[in-house]
């Protein structure tokens, strides 16, 4: 067990690179490693409350499993137990769950209907802007690659609402969109503290809308946003498919825009690629300025790393910093993840230099990154279906067809399960892909596999393991 425990902090660090800081704080900061059992196939974790357990299982199963498998590759089943924490550690959880500024506030309210009492319970007071003090211009490193977008951002702040409205910033994750967005909010507030600024991830915006709808307070909701001077919407991609919300957002957008109130939006893809977002919204997103947050090249990564190493007071050699910049070429969040791991290691060994050998161990996941990436790409609906057919000696047409033999049903349910859990596809779309089945059939099938995994059904565990292994070999 002791050996196994060593990897747990790395799992947490990896998770931090996958989910937002506030989400991590609220849900994962109190997760305790308990044990790895069943020849490495099952990991047992502890959390302080049932609520915490259900939240993680309901919302972050995929992220957690991915992070666990990175360091415990044999684990198939994760068990989360409720454990009592020492008194001294209990309060912060309450605090982080109740944080008004926290983006989870709204989602946790959704789970606890008794919280829905008054409009102010889901719409923060005027002076609460939700900005994270961590993200300012002061610690935003300007490099050659992000110079353009930084200049645009400065211009927008100078001539709020009139220069480029909206400003639409897009890029893949971890490249600094949220940081820049919030830095802009802080700067505007600094210049004029009387302004009404609201930062919110689009999911929070949607959750508020949903509560307003439920309470029949749509007019109040619109009035509330009509009053905003600077609206910062992060990760707009999550509004896809939420049609009623898109209609209301469209009106809010128009009202603000007409009054020359500034709107800034970030997205993980260009507006045109936002499938499931109404055309009229997409075209509005492109009305002002569209700019991407480019990926830093090696030299820029070095500049950013040096700044962060200094701020974190880490003592590293130039070669070590150079090696990190060379290996971690995915995004800035991952570079920060590596620095955090280094910091954790240094804390474990106070008074000792951080060695090259330790660095190489930490950078191991990045050594084979290319290989790893191609593996990940190889995990497609087709490759999963092929693999399962191969393992069960079935033809694809059987799997897609309507036969109900036990073997065939199991193979089909496993396919549902993989599509849901490893590809994150929705039940209806899985149903469409596998012989035009109803989404409830898919859901029941996939849940059945969950149950078999819980019951440690040898056959199912074996098939999952083999499927994963085969897909890794591609
Ligand atoms: P995104 O929103 O694009 O996914 P984030 O804004 O969350 O990315 O950035 C990921 C991490 O990298 C954050 O911790 C952020 O502070 C840091 N970061 C990104 N760009 C920069 C930069 N130019 N200078 C300093 N830190 C940065
Ligand atoms: Mg972001």
| Ligand 1 pocket, mutate which of 332, 334, 338, 339 (most atoms under 8 A from CB) | 332
Specify whether the CB–CB gap between 238 and 208 falls below 8 A: no
- Ligand 1 centre to CA of 20 (Å) is 11
- Span 396-448, pLDDT tens digits: 889 999 999 999 999 999 999 999 988 888 899 899 889 889 999 999 999 99
Helix (H, G, I), strand (E, B) or coil at 264: strand
* pLDDT > 50? residue 279: yes
Helix (H, G, I), strand (E, B) or coil at 262: strand
* pLDDT > 60? residue 69: yes
Which residues lie across from 47 on neighbouring strands? 82
pLDDT band at 90; cut points 50, 70, 90: very low
Helix (H, G, I), strand (E, B) or coil at 441: helix
Which residues lie across from 82 on neighbouring strands? 47
Helix (H, G, I), strand (E, B) or coil at 5: helix
| Ligand 1 pocket, mutate which of 176, 296, 311, 312 (most atoms under 8 A from CB) | 176
- Span 155-193, pLDDT tens digits: 999 999 999 999 999 999 999 999 999 999 999 999 999
Strand stretches in 29-109, DSSP E: 32-37, 42-47, 77-82
- Indicate which ligand has the atom closest to the C-alpha of 172: 1
| Ligand 1 pocket, mutate which of 333, 334, 337, 338 (most atoms under 8 A from CB) | 333
- What angle in degrees, to the nearest 10, is found between the helix axes of 318-327 and 332-348? 140
Q: What is the distance between the alpha carbons of residues 256 and 111, in angstroms, rounded to a whole number?
A: 31
The distance in angstroms from the start CA to the end CA of the chain is 32
- Ligand 2 centre to CA of 102 (Å) is 15
- Ligand 1 centre to CA of 11 (Å) is 20
Task: Give start and end residues of each alpha helix (H) in 135-242.
Answer: 147-158, 177-191, 202-214, 218-226
Q: What is the distance between the alpha carbons of residues 299 and 322, in angstroms, rounded to a whole number?
A: 9
The topology (CATH level 3) of 137-292 is Rossmann fold (3.40.50)
pLDDT at 92: 40
- Please state the rounded mean pLDDT for residues 247-267: 96
pLDDT band at 91; cut points 50, 70, 90: very low
Residue minimizing CA distance to atom 25 of ligand 1: 140
- Span 357-395, pLDDT tens digits: 999 999 988 875 543 344 444 678 888 998 899 888 888
Specify whether the CB–CB gap between 227 and 196 falls below 8 A: yes
Which amino acids bring their CB within 6 angstroms of ligand 1? 139-141, 146, 171, 173-179, 304, 332-333, 336
pTM (predicted TM-score): 0.61
* pLDDT > 70? residue 474: no
**CB atoms near residue 232 (< 10 Å):** 25
Q: Round the average pLDDT of the chain to a whole number and report it.
A: 86
- Span 201-237, pLDDT tens digits: 998 999 999 999 998 999 999 999 999 999 999 999 9
- Span 4-29, pLDDT tens digits: 888 888 899 888 888 877 678 778 88
- Ligand 2 centre to CA of 246 (Å) is 21
Specify whether the CB–CB gap between 75 and 41 falls below 8 A: yes
Residue minimizing CA distance to atom 13 of ligand 1: 333
The topology (CATH level 3) of 298-366 is Helicase, Ruva Protein; domain 3 (1.10.8)
pLDDT at 27: 81
- Please state the rounded mean pLDDT for residues 442-468: 90
pLDDT at 473: 52
Helix (H, G, I), strand (E, B) or coil at 437: coil
Q: Which residue has 């897009």 as its token pair?
A: 170
Domain spanning 381-473 has what CATH number? 1.10.1750.10
Q: Where are the domains of the chain?
A: 5-101, 137-292, 298-366, 381-473
pLDDT at 456: 85
pLDDT at 289: 94
- Please state the rounded mean pLDDT for residues 462-473: 80
Q: What 8-state DSSP symbol labels residue 272?
A: G
pLDDT band at 87; cut points 50, 70, 90: low
Instruction: Check whether the bond before 400 is cis (ω within 30° of 0).
Output: no
Q: Which of 8, 33, 20 is nearest to 201 (CA)?
A: 20
pLDDT at 190: 95
- Please state the rounded mean pLDDT for residues 132-149: 95
CA angle 99, 46, 90 (to 5 degrees): 40
Handedness of CA 229, 234, 240, 241 (dihedral sign): negative
pLDDT band at 89; cut points 50, 70, 90: low
Both tokens assigned to 126:
């005027």
CATH top-level class for 5-101? Answer: alpha beta
Task: Pick the atom of ligand 1 nearest to 146's CA.
Answer: 23
Both tokens assigned to 23:
């989400």
């Amino acid at each position: 067990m002791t050996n196994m425990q060593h990897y747990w902090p790395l799992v947490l660090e990896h998770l931090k690179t996958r989910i937002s800081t506030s989400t991590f704080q609220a849900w994962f900061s109190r997760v305790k490693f308990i044990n790895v059992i069943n020849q490495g196939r099952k990991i047992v974790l502890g959390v302080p409350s049932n609520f915490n357990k259900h939240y993680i299982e309901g919302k972050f199963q995929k992220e957690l499993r991915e992070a666990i498998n990175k360091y415990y590759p044999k684990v198939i089943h994760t068990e989360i137990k409720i454990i009592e924490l020492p008194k001294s550690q209990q309060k912060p959880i309450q605090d982080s769950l109740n944080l008004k500024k926290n983006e989870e506030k709204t989602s946790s309210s959704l789970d606890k209907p008794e919280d829905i009492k008054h409009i102010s319970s889901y719409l923060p007071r005027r002076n609460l802007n939700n900005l994270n003090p961590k993200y300012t211009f002061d610690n935003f490193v300007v490099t050659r690659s992000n110079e353009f977008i930084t200049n645009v951002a400065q211009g927008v702040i100078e001539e709020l609402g009139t220069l480029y409205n909206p400003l639409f910033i897009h890029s893949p994750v971890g490249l600094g969109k949220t940081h820049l967005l919030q830095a802009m909010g802080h700067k505007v507030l600094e210049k004029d503290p009387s302004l009404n600024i609201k930062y919110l991830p689009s999911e929070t915006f949607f959750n508020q809308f949903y509560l307003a709808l439920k309470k029949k307070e749509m007019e109040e909701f619109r009035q509330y946003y009509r009053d905003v001077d600077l609206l910062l919407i992060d990760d707009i991609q999550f509004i896809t498919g939420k049609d009623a919300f898109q209609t209301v957002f469209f009106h809010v957008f128009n009202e603000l825009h007409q009054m020359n109130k500034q709107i800034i939006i970030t997205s993980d893809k260009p507006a045109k690629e936002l499938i499931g977002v109404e055309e009229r919204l997409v075209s509005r997103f492109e009305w002002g300025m569209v700019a991407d947050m480019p990926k830093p090249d090696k030299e820029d990564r070095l500049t950013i790393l040096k700044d962060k190493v200094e701020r974190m007071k880490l003592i590293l050699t130039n070669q070590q910093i150079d090696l990190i910049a060379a290996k971690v070429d995915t995004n800035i969040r991952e570079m920060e993840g590596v620095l955090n791991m280094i910091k954790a290691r240094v804390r474990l060994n106070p008074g000792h230099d951080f060695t090259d050998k330790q660095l190489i161990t930490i950078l191991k996941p990045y050594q084979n990154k290319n290989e790893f990436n191609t593996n990940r790409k190889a995990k497609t609906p087709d490759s999963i279906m092929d693999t399962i057919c191969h393992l069960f000696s079935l033809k694809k047409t059987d799997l897609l067809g309507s036969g109900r033999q036990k073997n065939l049903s199991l193979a089909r349910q496993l396919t549902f399960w993989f599509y849901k859990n490893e590809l994150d596809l929705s039940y209806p779309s899985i149903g469409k892909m596998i012989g035009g089945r109803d989404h409830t059939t898919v859901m029941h099938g996939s849940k059945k596999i969950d149950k078999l995994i819980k019951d440690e059904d040898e056959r199912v565990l074996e098939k999952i393991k083999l499927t994963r292994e085969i897909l890794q070999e591609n």
